[in-house]
Amino acid sequence: MTSATPSHTPTTAAFYVQAVLSFGLSLTAVGIGVVFLPVDGWVRAFLGIAMLYTVTSAFTLAKVLRDRQEDTYITSRVDRARLDKLLTDHDPFKIDAP
């Protein structure tokens, strides 16, 4: 019997560093753009808060998606383990005695 276990590839250190640097660079660039924007202070403050809200909601969305994926993976592993146990316990040639 073949089992279709999903291959879990761990995140490499280079990918992690690239993601962190990319996030930091983009956040810094937008922050500098908001600071040097030729508008009133209230508009600048509104854009800064909007930027922070976007970042926190992006983190929340990423966490929710990750949690849902992990939950689905764990549920499928439990279901697969139950099915494997049923298949190994089943003997098609066993005759039930009356």
pLDDT digits (tens, 9 = 90+) for 21-49: 999 999 999 999 999 999 999 999 999 99
Q: Is pTM, for the whole model, over 0.75?
A: no
Q: Which of the 8 DSSP states describes residue 38?
A: S
**What is the pLDDT at residue 21?**
93
Closest CA to 46 of 58, 56, 28, 34: 34
Which stretches of the chain score pLDDT less than 50? 1-2
CB 3 within 8 A of CB 84: yes
Closest CA to 3 of 81, 71, 57: 81
Give percent of the chain above pLDDT 90. Answer: 41
**What is the pLDDT at residue 5?**
52
Phi, psi dihedrals of residue 83, rounded to the nearest 5°? -65, -45
95: tokens are 């005759």
